[in-house]
Structure 1
Amino acid sequence: MHTTGMEEYLVGGAVRDILLGRTPHEYDYAFADTVEGFICRNPSARKAGNDFSICILHGLEHAPLRGKSIHEDLLLRDFTINALALDPNGKLYAHPQAFADMRNRTLRATNPTALQDDPIRVFRAARFAADLPEFTIHPDLLQQMRDIGSSGILDQMTPERVAGELFKALHTSMPGTFIRVLQEANCLSPWFKELQGAADVPAGPLPYHRESVLVHTAQVMDQCAGDPTAVYMALCHDLGKTKTPAEVLPHHYKHEHRGEEEAWALGTRLKLSNRLMRAGMVAARQHMKCGAYPSLKAGTRVDLLMEINKHSLLESFCRLIKADCGVDHSDTMSKDREVILNVVLPDELRNKGPESGIRLREMRCVALSRIRR
C-alpha cells in the first residue's frame, strides 16, 4: 500500500491472479475516501486524464470505493472472479459467488445490471475469456452481452475504450477467443462490423478450408499468440472475404484488395496507432503472395520486402504466414531483405529524383536474381 491514514484495498485482477497462481500484471487499489481527500493525504497523486474518479500514485491506479463499504464495492464490480479485495493486514474480501466461480472456472457478472452499468464490460468479458481460456462464460453473462448488443448501447462507446480492450486481447494466450465470444454474443457490430456475418461465409473451397471465415480468422489469431502485432494482422488478413459476392463463393477472388479497405476502416474507427493500422492493411493486401514466396518474381519480392521492412513488420508478417498457410519463409525472406538492403547506388545515380529510385529497385532485383541462380 502507498497511502497514509485511510482504509485501502488491493482489488480486482491482481488478487484474482494471485489466487490462481498467476503473476499479476496490474495492481489497482480502492480507498474509502473522496478523490479530493485522497489527494490531500497524498500530495504527489494526480487525477488520471479524463477519468477524474481515478488517481495515479507511484504509477498505480487508486479509485474510491463503489458504494459505502468494500462489500458494496465488490457487488458493483464487473465479474465475480474480479470482485476480490485484500486489505493491508492480509484479510481477503470476496463477492459471495467469487470463490465458487474460480473453482468452477466460470466467468459471471457480479449482478444483473453489471454490463448495463458499464457496457465496455461486453468487450472486457470477451478479453477475459481470451486471457483465461480454461474459463467458461456463464449463460447469464452471455445473455447480458446479447441484450447490450441488441440495445444499440455499444454505438455510444468511445473508440479509445474499445481499442483498449482489443489491445489487451492481442496479448492474451488465446486471442481468437475475443472475436469468437463477440460473435456468439452478437456484439461484433458496430466496432468490429467487418467481421459481422463472417461465421456464415466459407473461408475457401475444399480441400483448403472446411471452416468459416470467422473460425479461420480466430484460429490464425490463436496461432500467432505471443506476438500482438501478428495477432492483429491475423485479425485483418481475411477481412476482404466477408465482402465476396455470393455468386462466386466459396472462392474469394481478389479478396486481398477488398481486405485492405476493410482493415483501414476498422483501424480508423478504433483510432488505432498508425503502425498497427498499417500492419493490418499490409496483412490484408500482401498475405496471399507469401504462401508462394519462393516462386515470386524478383521485382515482386523486392517491393514486398521493402514495404514490410518500412514498417518493421517482417517477423510478425512471417508469423502470420506460417499460421495461415503452414509454411515458414522467414529465413529466406530475412536473407533476401539483407541482400537488397546492402545494395547501394553508385554516386553517379544519386540525387536524380524518381530516376534514382527506379535504378535502385532495378539493382535490387538483379541482386536477388543472382542469389537465386
Structure 2
Amino acid sequence: MQTYLVGGAVRDELLGQPAHDRDYVLVNATPSDIDRLLEAGYQQVGKDFPVFLSPQGEEYALARVERKTGSGHKGFSFAIEQVSLVDDLSRRDLTINAMARDLLTGELTDPYGGQHDLRAGILRHVSESFAEDPLRVFRVARFAARYPSFRLAVETREIMTQVTARGDLSQLSAERVWGETVKALAASAPRRYFEVLKDVGALQEWFPELEALDQVPQPAEHHPEGDAWIHTLMVLDQIQAGTTAEKLAALFHDIGKGLTPPEEWPRHVDHEITGGILLDEVRRRLRVPKEEFTLMRVVAEQHLRVHQVLAIRKPGRLLALLQAIRGTRVEQEAFFSSVLKVCQADARGRLGREATPYPPAAFLRGAREVLLGIRCSPEYAQLVASGVAGQDFAAELARLQIARLQQYMKSQAEPS
C-alpha cells in the first residue's frame, strides 16, 4: 500500500500557504491493510466507497474512479479495484487540486499540469468528466473568490456555461449550494464568486434576485458607480472583513430594485419594502439559517431609514427605528452593530465615496446609550415601584424613552 497526500494540502504547500485540511489516498491497499487501519483506531465512513478517518480526524480514502449513473452530484458509482493514483487524480475538479505527494519518498505526482497552472494563475478543469457534477460550477467560482488573481481557463468557462445551459444546476440541493456560498463569502474576494456565476449563466438559477440588478440604473447623484449590480458588489467589497450574516445582508440589501418598473427608473420608491418581501423566497430557496436571515431582512427594510436618521425630527420615529434595528435591547448589541456596519458599507459602496465618514452610525450609537441609561435613572425606578404592568408599563416606558430621545436630539442639533 502506498499513501499520498492529495488535493488542497499539496496545492497550498506549493503556494507556500498553511494547509488546513490534509487528505490522503491509499493505492494498492489490500484487505489486510484495511484490517490494520481498523486495528489502529481508524473509523470507516461512507457507504459507497471506503474512507477512513484517523484518530486525528484526517481522511484516508482508497484510490477510486467514478462512473456517472444518474443525475446531479450524487449520481455516481465508484470502482476501487486496481485503480492507479493517476486514475484517482483524474476524477478531481481542477488541475491545481489534482496533484499528490508520496509520503514515503516526497515525490510529487502531477499528471495534469497543476504546477504550471499554479504558476500561471489559471483555474482549469482536469477532464471532460468535470461536466458530470454540476456542483463543480459553484466550486470553481469559490476558488475564483479564494484566488482572485487567477483567471478562468477559456475551455473551463465554456464547459461551466454548457452545464448551466443544460439546466443541471437545478438538480443540486440547497444545502450544497449554500455550503459553497458560505465558503466563498469567507474567501479573500467574495465578489468574484458571484461574478463568475453570472458570467457562466449560473446566477439566474440560484440567485435570480441578484441577476435582476444587472443594468438597473440608479440616481447618478447618489450612485455614480453605475447600476444596482455594480453597487451591490462594491458594498460587498466594503464589508469584506465582516461576518457571513453581514456579507449576506450587504449582498441582498437592494434586491427590491430589481422589481422597479423601467418606467420609474432611475428612482426606486419603496424598494426596501419589496426587498423584504423578496427575501422570503431567498430564504426558502437557499435554506438560509434564521440568524443570517434576520439580519438580512432588517437591513433590507431599514437601511434607508438609517441613512436618513439625521433628518428625523420626531423622537417617536427615532424610537421606532431603534426598536426595529434592535437598538433598545442590551443583549442585542452585536446585532445592532452589524446593522450599522452594513449600512455604512452601503453608504461607502459607491464610486468616490469609499472612505467617507458615516455620521448616522455615531448618532444612533449615542441614542442607544441614552435609552439603555434609562434603566439606571430615578424615573425608571419610580415606574417599577409604581406597580404598573403590561401594556400600561410599556406605554409609560415609551413616554420616558421619547422624552430622553428628544433631549438627545436637541443636544445633537445644538452647535458645539
Shared fold, TM over 0.5: yes
Deviation at 1:154, TM superposition (A): 0.8
Please give the secondary structure, in 2, of the residue aligned with 1:189.
helix
Matches within 5 A, 1:125-274: 125-202=140-217, 204-209=218-223, 210-227=225-242, 228-274=244-290
Alpha-carbon distance between aligned partners in 1 of 2:246 and 2:30, rounded to the nearest angstrom: 43
Q: 1:159 to 1:61 in 2, by over 3 A?
A: farther
Is the CA contact 2:370–2:404 (under 8 Å) kept in the aligned structure 1? yes
Query: What is the identity, as a one-letter code, of the residue corresponding to 2:325?
Result: I
Deviation at 1:300, TM superposition (A): 3.5
Query: What is the identity, as a one-letter code, of the residue corresponding to 1:185?
Result: V
* Aligned with 1:319 (options 338, 341, 350): 341
Alpha-carbon distance between aligned partners in 1 of 2:405 and 2:20, rounded to the nearest angstrom: 45
Deviation at 1:162, TM superposition (A): 0.4
Query: What is the identity, as a one-letter code, of the residue corresponding to 1:25?
Result: H
Matches within 5 A, 1:283-298: 283-296=299-312, 297-298=314-315
Q: For residues 230-270 of structure 1, give each alpha carbon's deviation from its aligned partner in whole angstroms, at most 9, with x where no partner exists.
A: 21111110111111112101111100011112222112211
Deviation at 1:275, TM superposition (A): 0.4
Alpha-carbon distance between aligned partners in 2 of 1:299 and 1:61, rounded to the nearest angstrom: 58
* Aligned with 1:60 (options 58, 61, 73): 58
Deviation at 1:44, TM superposition (A): 4.5
Is the CA contact 1:173–1:222 (under 8 Å) kept in the aligned structure 2? no
Alpha-carbon distance between aligned partners in 1 of 2:258 and 2:42, rounded to the nearest angstrom: 51
Deviation at 1:322, TM superposition (A): 2.0
Tell me what 2:75 maps to: none
Alpha-carbon distance between aligned partners in 2 of 1:176 and 1:232, rounded to the nearest angstrom: 11
Is the CA contact 1:224–1:323 (under 8 Å) kept in the aligned structure 2? yes
Point out where structure 1 has 5 or more consecutive residues left out of the alignment.
1-5
Does residue 1:370 correspond to 2:407, yes or no?
Answer: yes
Q: For residues 297-335 of structure 1, give each alpha carbon's deviation from its aligned partner in whole angstroms, at most 9, with x where no partner exists.
A: 433333333343348323332222222113434333333
If the length of structure 2 is used for normalisation, what is the TM-score? 0.80
Alpha-carbon distance between aligned partners in 2 of 1:231 and 1:34, rounded to the nearest angstrom: 48
Paired residues in the alignment total: 365
Deviates more, 1:37-46 or 1:314-323: 37-46
Point out where structure 2 has 5 or more consecutive residues left out of the alignment.
66-82, 327-331, 349-356, 412-416
Alpha-carbon distance between aligned partners in 2 of 1:189 and 1:34, rounded to the nearest angstrom: 47
Is the CA contact 2:96–2:117 (under 8 Å) kept in the aligned structure 1? yes
* Aligned with 1:360 (options 384, 397, 406): 397
Deviates more, 1:144-153 or 1:313-322: 313-322
Bigger CA radius of gyration: 2
Deviation at 1:55, TM superposition (A): 4.5
Q: For residues 53-93 of structure 1, give each alpha carbon's deviation from its aligned partner in whole angstroms, at most 9, with x where no partner exists.
A: 65443333443323312211222101111112223233222
Is the CA contact 2:26–2:63 (under 8 Å) kept in the aligned structure 1? yes
Q: 1:19 to 1:207 in 2, by over 3 A?
A: same
Is the CA contact 1:177–1:218 (under 8 Å) kept in the aligned structure 2? no
Q: 1:266 to 1:338 in 2, by over 3 A?
A: same
Query: What is the identity, as a one-letter code, of the residue corresponding to 1:207?
Result: E
Query: What is the identity, as a one-letter code, of the residue corresponding to 1:120?
Result: L
Deviates more, 1:204-213 or 1:120-129: 204-213
Q: For residues 179-216 of structure 1, give each alpha carbon's deviation from its aligned partner in whole angstroms, at most 9, with x where no partner exists.
A: 111111100132112123322222x1213224222221
If the length of structure 1 is used for normalisation, what is the TM-score? 0.89
Alpha-carbon distance between aligned partners in 2 of 1:314 and 1:272, rounded to the nearest angstrom: 20
Alpha-carbon distance between aligned partners in 1 of 2:308 and 2:113, rounded to the nearest angstrom: 53
Does residue 1:93 correspond to 2:124, yes or no?
Answer: no
Is the CA contact 2:299–2:343 (under 8 Å) kept in the aligned structure 1? no
Deviation at 1:218, TM superposition (A): 1.3
Deviation at 1:348, TM superposition (A): 4.5
Deviation at 1:19, TM superposition (A): 1.4
RMSD: 2.6
Query: What is the identity, as a one-letter code, of the residue corresponding to 1:86?
Result: R
Identity of aligned residues (%): 32
Deviates more, 1:243-252 or 1:58-67: 58-67
Please give the secondary structure, in 2, of the residue aligned with 1:174.
coil
Deviation at 1:173, TM superposition (A): 1.5
Deviates more, 1:120-129 or 1:35-44: 35-44
